């Protein structure tokens, strides 16, 4: 039995809520009750964004030059071996340790899974865009093993022919969240827009801190602008938010790395990745926040669509291709290869989801998604099989 979960986004709790430890207890208890005598092993794959090194107020108290996207030479995206790089590593390590401490109870439950099952268990972690920078911490493997127990940490996708599956996070196909030789613009956007906005607001209105942590779960993320506009209607808060949005967007476009990224990704093609980013944010600044309908239409027009993951999955050789990243659970039939039916599976998230209707009204619900893959002998089939479980709770 091989289980895949993704996008837990365990954080230090300064700018987002964390998943309750009870979710992990219920999950492992259910898996234990589901075991059959045919199962000889249990493999649990954490398919990216298990930890969130970006969603933290910590970065907003760090000197700009010591941020991952700060003070990078134009002819190189690689970190220089310098005191500044050592400081960046120190910051990453501090955030990771804070994450592990904040989620200590949940991680202890995962660690105890090593002795919970009557069959051998193997835990595997693959990187996502929000936790890939752990590799910059030279002893991160030892740190994670101390917190999670016996765990295998990969630097890329995981495949297992016995289960017919290939697993990757999926950010590799997202132009905003993957950069082959450097820092994705999505890292900068997460911190300097989607962490900074709530940070600035709660500095003035600390009583809003707990509610503002929910901004992490808004999808798509750019909807934070009209989420703030529709949620906080008191005139003093609303007026302050308008000023903060304008200031935050101005500061974002003043970041040297953002200027450079837009320049390097700006092509002759209209509405390329650079154009969409630039137009979306500038238009949100130029339009008054109370023009909600007009703002909504503009963002909808420039909305960055999810990557065509089905097309990417078709290019893989595995029978089943599992991605995460989007927070949207999905099963898609890809076609037939040598009489076997191929599928793309998205493993969604365990986080709460905040979604907007077409009219701009927001609602939220809790969710839990995971995929299970089986060897033929485990289910008495002629080929590897799978199931995708998704639960939603609105309360």
pLDDT 10s digits, 211-245? 999 988 988 777 787 788 788 888 899 899 988 98
Does pLDDT of 111 surpass 60?
yes
- Look up residue 273 and give its two tokens: 């990745």
Q: What is the model's pTM? A: 0.91
234-277 residue pLDDT tens: 889 989 998 898 899 889 989 999 989 888 888 777 666 776 77
Per-residue pLDDT at 242:
85
- Got the DSSP string for 130-197? TTGGGGGSTTHHHHHHHHHSS-EE-SS-EEETTTTEEE--SGGG-TTT--TTS--HHHHHIIIIIIHH
CA angle 127, 13, 132 (to 5 degrees): 15
What pLDDT was estimated at residue 334? 95
CATH 3.60.21 in the chain, residues?
2-174+319-351+367-393
Q: What pLDDT, on a 0 to 100 scale, did the predictor assign at position 288?
A: 60
260 versus 356: which is more confidently predicted? Answer: 260
With residue 294 as reference, give the H or E element that holds it: helix 292-302
pLDDT at 371 over 90: yes
Q: Grade residue 76 by pLDDT with cuts at 50, 70 and 90.
A: very low
Distance CA 51, CA 129 (A): 10
Residues 75, 92: Cα–Cα separation, whole Å: 24
- Comparing 197 with 225, which gets the higher pLDDT? 197
- pLDDT of 294 higher than 60: no
Write down the pLDDT at residue 266.
80
Q: What is the pLDDT of residue 74?
A: 47
Per-residue pLDDT at 290: 55
**Phi then psi for 387, rounded to 5 degrees?**
-145, 150
* Sheet of strand 330-337, all strands in order from the earlier edge strand to the far edge: 158-160, 165-167, 320-323, 340-346, 330-337
User: How far is the C-alpha of 213 from the C-alpha of 112, rounded, in Å?
Assistant: 29
With beta carbons less than 8 A apart as the criterion, state whether 153 and 125 touch. Answer: yes
Q: How far apart are CA 1 and CA 373, in angstroms?
A: 6
Indicate if the pLDDT at residue 21 is higher than 80: yes
Looking at 3.20.20, 3.30.310, 3.60.21, 3.40.50, the CATH number of the domain 2-174+319-351+367-393 comes to 3.60.21
The answer to whether residue 299 scores a pLDDT higher than 70 is: no
* Rounded Cα distance, 373 and 379, in Å: 10
The larger pLDDT score, comparing residue 289 to residue 46, is at 46
Write down the pLDDT at residue 81.
47
Q: Residue range 183-205: average pLDDT? A: 94
* Local structure of 74: helix, strand or coil: coil
User: pLDDT at position 291, please?
Assistant: 47
- pLDDT attached to residue 262: 87
Residue 314 scores a pLDDT above 50: yes
Higher pLDDT, 338 or 153: 153
One DSSP character per residue, 22-67 reads: HHHHHHHHHHHHH--TT---EEEEEES-SB-SSS-GGGGGS-GGGS
Mean of the per-residue pLDDT values of the chain: 88
Averaged over 301-322, what is the pLDDT?
80
């Amino acid at each position: 039995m091989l289980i895949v979960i993704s996008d837990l986004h365990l954080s230090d709790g300064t700018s987002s809520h964390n998943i309750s430890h009870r979710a992990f207890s219920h999950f492992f208890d259910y898996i234990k009750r589901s075991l059959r005598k045919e199962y000889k092993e249990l493999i649990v794959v954490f398919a990216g964004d298990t930890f969130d090194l970006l969603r933290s107020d910590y970065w907003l108290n760090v000197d700009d030059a010591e941020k991952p996207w700060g003070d990078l030479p134009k002819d190189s995206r690689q970190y220089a071996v310098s005191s500044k790089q050592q400081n960046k590593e120190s910051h990453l390590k501090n955030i990771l340790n804070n994450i592990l401490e904040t989620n200590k109870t949940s991680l202890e439950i995962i660690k105890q899974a090593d002795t919970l099952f009557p069959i051998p268990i193997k835990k595997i972690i693959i990187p996502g865009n929000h936790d890939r920078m752990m590799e910059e911490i030279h002893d991160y493997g030892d740190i994670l093993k101390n917190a999670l127990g016996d765990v295998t940490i990969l630097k890329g996708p995981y495949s297992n022919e016995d289960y017919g599956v290939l697993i990757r996070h999926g950010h590799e196909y997202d132009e905003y969240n993957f950069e082959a030789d450097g820092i994705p613009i999505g890292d900068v956007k997460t911190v300097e827009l989607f962490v900074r906005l709530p940070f600035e607001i709660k500095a003035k209105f600390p009583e809003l801190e707990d509610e503002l942590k929910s901004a992490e779960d808004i999808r798509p993320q750019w909807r934070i602008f009209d989420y703030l506009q529709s949620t906080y209607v008191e005139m003093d808060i609303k007026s302050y938010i308008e000023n903060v949005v304008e200031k935050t967007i101005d500061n974002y476009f003043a970041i040297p790395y953002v200027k450079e990224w837009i320049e390097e990704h700006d092509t002759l093609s209209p509405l390329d990745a650079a154009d969409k980013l630039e137009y979306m944010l500038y238009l949100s600044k130029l339009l008054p926040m109370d023009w909600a309908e007009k703002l909504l239409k503009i963002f909808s027009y420039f909305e960055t669509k999810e990557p065509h993951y089905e097309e990417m999955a078709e290019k893989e050789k595995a029978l089943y291709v599992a991605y995460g990243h989007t927070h949207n659970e999905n099963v898609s039939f890809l076609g037939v290869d040598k009489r076997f039916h191929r599928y793309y599976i998205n493993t969604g998230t365990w986080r709460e989801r905040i979604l907007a209707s077409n009219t701009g009204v927001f609602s939220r619900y809790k969710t839990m998604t995971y995929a299970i893959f089986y060897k033929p002998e485990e289910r008495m089939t002629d080929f590897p099989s799978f199931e995708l479980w998704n639960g939603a709770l609105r309360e």
